[in-house]
Structure 1
Amino acid sequence: MNDRSISQSGVSRRTLLLGSATAAVVAGGAGFLLGRAGDEETPAQTAAPAAPPAKYRSRPDLNGLPDVTITTPATGTAPGFVFLTPFAGASLRGPLIVDEKGSPVWFKKVPDPATVAIDFKAQRYRGEPVLTWWEGTIGGTGGQGVGQGEFVVVDQAYREVTRIRAAGSEQADQHDLVLTPDGTALFWVYDPVPFDLTPMGGPADGVLHDGVLQEIDVATGRKVFEWRGRDHISLDESYAPLPQGESAHLPYDYLHPNSVSLDTDGHLLFSARHTWGLYKVHRKTGAVIWRIGGKKSDFRVDEKAAFSWQHDLQRRRDGDYSIFDNGAGITTEKDYSRGLIFRVDEKAKTVTFVAEHVHPQRVSAPTQGNFRELPDGGTFVGWGQQPHFTEHNADGTVRLAGHLPEDNQSYRAYKAEWAGAARDQPALGLRVEGDNVIASVSWNGHTGVSRWRARAGGQPRALSTAVEADRTGFETTLTLPGIPEYVVAEALDEAGQVIGSSSAIPVRV
């Protein structure tokens, strides 16, 4: 029945809508149809089971996002958002920003079928804020993840700036990416090379996963520095067992480097999980300046500072160092994982314990994880294989805690300030409830929205009814009285200025 036949029958469009058994639901911007009105059923008919309510009516494509649960509400926290990469058990995989209440701020789905996002964080490139993450597939032997992929860089409008790829035939590993002030990128490549493993009890025609650190000029893709682990670290330093039996010819991952960072003097710091070693490497010559931990430590490490299967070596502003001490991996050395802070005396050749930050539940993370200092002196911990994240005061007390669903995980979790201004339109979803239209509005990634306004009327250019509401999480709902023909959603900043609007969406039957 078209609008003309409705008019001729003496039945108004409003009456028809209110007489429907169910209401039409339409998403804005893209105009997705989320539902349809149904006819009245006779008593003999049986209604189909009701579908579960949509999580986001304005963005049905994001309804599969995993929930982030906050268990310790934020108290005295550092400003910023939480950066996660849900990938295990998630129907949607990709970089995810949430606020301190666990509500999504921005999400981008990575390509199917096997691609995942890893190590999502805020950095700077050419002096401007950017977001970076790794995209690719993960394999490996012995349950240890080895990545084949590339890094993505996007600007504050979420436009892709570039993709950073490894030089040569290999692909970039997922464990870390550092953008330097020189316009270069530091990251790892796991290079499988033929290697005689007979001294270790393996085959003469074996394969070694060599840990290769590359520095690439981001603008040109030119390699400016390369460091190979097998040239500096011997296989007998490893705690990882050789692949056995039918797997004997798979690559032996003896080193498993999993972080890289710059020390205050410009030299390189990195962690190697399978040697339980932390290394400082000369930026120009590649020589190992020192090693801490493992079988050939240059320093005496006190008992409380001892670590194993660790991740994420960082230099702190006060001169101390920190790592995420897994304490478990191929073997279990500690009952729980921790963020460990320690002090290095290069003259006395000693490493002494400073502090540890632990999860309230004393969780153990056999893989993954990170531990980062925040600008106010607090710290933020991603608990790796465990789906948790925590923010701590300088004394180690927890001031924010949350987690992904228990069947999920995020390789790392970060906290940072971020201002995003998405260039697409806000999204709008509509449904009729009784004598009202409910407008659901969102704007994926735009951090400048303070309030929402919904305007309605009989024509797209004649919208006389308006309602406003404060932004409430990723999606905000507004109730419009009556059944208008069209609705538009407008995003407002703190000053009440319109910073974006949806298309005019018809309220359809």
Structure 2
Amino acid sequence: MLFTIFFALVAISAVDAEFDLGIGDDSDLFNFVTRPELRAPRFNVTVYDANRVTPGYWFVAPYASIVQQTQPKRYYQACQTGPAIYDGAGNLVWSGACEFRNQNTCDFRPFRSNGSDHLSAILYGWELDRKGRGIIMDSSYEVSHSINVPRAERSMNMHEMQMANDGKTAMYIIHKSDWVDISELSPFGIQEEAGWVFNIGFREVEIDTGKALFEWWALDHVPLSTSSVEIDGLDGPPPAGWNFFHMNSVDKNADGDYMISARYTDCIYKISGTDGHIIWRLGGDESSFALDAFNFSKQHDARFIEQNATTTVISFLDNASDGVNNVTSDVSTSYLVALETSVTPMVARVIRRWSRPDGHLSHARGNFQLLPNGNAFTAWSGNAYITEHAFDGDLVMEAGFASERFVTYRSYKHNFTGHPSEPPTLKAYAYGTSPATSTTVCYVSWNGATEVDSWDFYRNNSASEPIGRAQKTGFETMFQATGYYPDVYAQAISASGQVLGRSSVQLTVKSQDWQSQHTYKSQNVLSGLLTSEWPLLKSYGL
């Protein structure tokens, strides 16, 4: 039986090693003493002008492959993928990878509701959660709401889940396979009268009740002939079908109208929030606007910025390629565009453009965020390559994962205040040849706490004896004190001196040198007793 267990353990280790060898080492991942299970990817960060970088945290969600397996390739171990927050220096602030079982996560972002900070994300479907779901967390990282797709729908779409109406409603993308009339495709060589089409739309729902407030489907409003991608998949069967539209974002303005981005028609649409009709189209074969000295294709993340009676300002990321179909530019670009709607014909003019600094194309994923101070924050896809430009175009910061092990669908930059419900984690070790000459080294972290300025360390005795204070550094702070402190705890202190939280009391791990000395002395004493008492033992017949 023991041999069976041994060989089973060897086999499991061999499987893990196979995944490790696919990368070579784990230097691209964080490694913490207090939280060894958190192996979040590291960022390489270059700051070109610190004075012009906008304060805020990065919200990303690393994954290796969107078609997720139980043990995907390129994983080192559990707790790497899922929602994560980093600071502007690339230090991990919070990882939700363990909490959400290493599940692929998309569109992870903060939002404000009722004066408080919250988080939202899409947990993408996989073997342990086939349909996926949207989640909303409070500032303590506890899930307060789940948004589930109806039973008849296949899964939660990965692209978009945005809160609206002060967090009372949510908009997300929906999809299904429909058997439809495809006779309009006969000019493209399709002779069949009907076929399977991957229909896509969006829905706005009430968070508390799940009630659908608005729903829109592409096939009800957009001709198949406007698609710019190869006609494929018409023979199905469901859930397959020709993905002719590929919606990847939905936004809403103050008037209650919507704006969507459809990658496979190279078009951005404004949708009436009253009856769903298309108010205008930007780009594609039937553009309502003349594009003034620019073009775009395969775009992502169209957003309303501001509007008045004559002009609507929007932003979006021009991918300019999807790696297969037409390339409309040599480099991907973030755009801020003014749509002049009071002239005939209507005109779209570029206000600002920020090109990808490395000169490459983002074939998939990505988003663009205009920050409150006018800076441009862009996720260019790949290994979470992100940049920040000043409004005038100067590059002030760029960063990316330290390896190409992971990507992220989107990245955001925001202020956020986190108050974790779990306590800080502390571990302590004693080093030295004896207790009298030892040093006690403490490591402490608090996953998700954003207001910690320093840590106070105490010996756990009747007087709660203070040991010392250390300024917080990154995710995990190390502190060392001369002497041996057998049991210790730490308190998190804010910049104003407020105690934010306290770790549990931890027994200090003693030096192995002491243990070996103790064992050696005990053996000598026992040996001496046996030798000196041997005649007496013999006299008792022992």
Q: Into which bin does the TM-score normalised by the smaller protein fall? A: 0.7 to 0.9
Letter in 2 for 1:357: W
Are 1:148 and 1:174, in contact at CA under 8 Å, matched by a contact in 2? no
Alignment partner, residue 157 of structure 2: 173
Please give the residue correspondences for 1:179-328 in structure 2 after superposition, counting only pairs within 5 Å. 179-181=163-165, 183-197=168-182, 199-200=184-185, 201=190, 206-243=195-232, 250-304=240-294, 306-317=295-306, 319-328=312-321
Please give the residue correspondences for 1:56-95 in structure 2 after superposition, counting only pairs within 5 Å. 56-62=32-38, 64-72=39-47, 74-88=50-64, 89=74, 91=76, 92-95=80-83
Shift of 1:172: 2.4
212-221 vs 397-406, which deviates more? 397-406
Is residue 469 of structure 1 aligned with residue 466 of structure 2? Answer: no
Shift of 1:454: 1.6
Shift of 1:72: 2.3
Q: 1:296 to 1:148 in 2, by over 3 A?
A: farther
Deviations 1:349-382 (A, max 9, x none): 1112222112321231101111111111112111
Q: Distance in 1 between matches of 2:105 and 2:46?
A: 25
Alignment partner, residue 444 of structure 1: 447
Deviations 1:204-261 (A, max 9, x none): 5632111121111110011111111101011111012122699787321111111111
Shift of 1:198: 5.5
SS in 1 for 2:136: strand
Are 1:178 and 1:185, in contact at CA under 8 Å, matched by a contact in 2? yes
Question: Equivalent of 1:343, from 328, 338, 341?
Answer: 338
Alignment partner, residue 55 of structure 1: 31
428-437 vs 52-61, which deviates more? 52-61
Are 2:195 and 2:236, in contact at CA under 8 Å, matched by a contact in 1? no
Q: RMSD of the alignment, in Å?
A: 2.5
Q: 1:192 to 1:125 in 2, by over 3 A?
A: farther
Are 1:125 and 1:179, in contact at CA under 8 Å, matched by a contact in 2? no
Q: Distance in 2 between matches of 1:221 and 1:214?
A: 11
SS in 2 for 1:239: coil
Q: Distance in 2 between matches of 1:324 and 1:110?
A: 32
Q: Distance in 2 between matches of 1:333 and 1:191?
A: 30
Q: Distance in 2 between matches of 1:270 and 1:76?
A: 32
Shift of 1:199: 4.4
Q: 1:90 to 1:341 in 2, by over 3 A?
A: farther
Question: Equivalent of 2:349, from 337, 347, 352?
Answer: 352
SS in 1 for 2:264: helix
Alignment partner, residue 426 of structure 1: 424
Q: Distance in 1 between matches of 2:210 and 2:506?
A: 45
Is residue 333 of structure 1 aligned with residue 323 of structure 2? Answer: no
Q: Distance in 2 between matches of 1:246 and 1:184?
A: 37
Alignment partner, residue 151 of structure 1: 134
SS in 2 for 1:274: helix
445-454 vs 182-191, which deviates more? 182-191
Q: Distance in 2 between matches of 1:207 and 1:502?
A: 57
Between the two proteins, the alignment pairs up a number of residues equal to: 448
Q: Distance in 1 between matches of 2:34 and 2:319?
A: 41
SS in 1 for 2:219: helix
Task: State the identity %.
Answer: 27
Letter in 2 for 1:328: S
Are 2:61 and 2:83, in contact at CA under 8 Å, matched by a contact in 1? yes
Q: Which runs of 5 or more residues in structure 2 are unaligned?
A: 1-25, 65-73, 433-437, 511-542
Structure showing the higher helix proportion among its residues: 2
Shift of 1:302: 2.5
Alignment partner, residue 129 of structure 1: 117
Letter in 1 for 2:439: N
Greater relative contact order (CA < 8 Å, ≥ 6 in sequence): 1
Are 2:196 and 2:235, in contact at CA under 8 Å, matched by a contact in 1? no
Letter in 2 for 1:309: K
Q: Distance in 2 between matches of 1:58 and 1:307?
A: 48
Alignment partner, residue 3 of structure 1: none
Shift of 1:194: 2.0
Are 2:125 and 2:132, in contact at CA under 8 Å, matched by a contact in 1? yes
TM-score by length of 2: 0.78
Question: Equivalent of 1:120, from 99, 108, 118?
Answer: 108
Q: Distance in 2 between matches of 1:54 and 1:189?
A: 36
Alignment partner, residue 493 of structure 1: 494
Shift of 1:420: 0.7
Q: Distance in 1 between matches of 2:195 and 2:462?
A: 72
Alignment partner, residue 407 of structure 2: 409
Q: Distance in 2 between matches of 1:54 and 1:228?
A: 43
Shift of 1:486: 0.3
Q: Distance in 2 between matches of 1:172 and 1:419?
A: 28
Are 2:30 and 2:40, in contact at CA under 8 Å, matched by a contact in 1? no
Larger Cα-atom Rg: 2
358-367 vs 438-447, which deviates more? 358-367
283-292 vs 72-81, which deviates more? 72-81
SS in 1 for 2:52: coil
Q: 1:194 to 1:203 in 2, by over 3 A?
A: same
Q: Distance in 1 between matches of 2:145 and 2:102?
A: 22
Q: 1:380 to 1:135 in 2, by over 3 A?
A: same
Alignment partner, residue 483 of structure 2: 482
Q: Distance in 1 between matches of 2:75 and 2:361?
A: 22
Alignment partner, residue 19 of structure 1: none
Question: Equivalent of 1:455, from 455, 458, 475?
Answer: 458
Letter in 1 for 2:252: L
Q: Distance in 2 between matches of 1:128 and 1:500?
A: 20
Letter in 2 for 1:451: S
Deviations 1:365-406 (A, max 9, x none): 101111111111112111123521111111121222111132
Q: Distance in 2 between matches of 1:295 and 1:500?
A: 59
Deviations 1:131-187 (A, max 9, x none): 001002379xxxxxxx95211100111111101123452132121112111611111
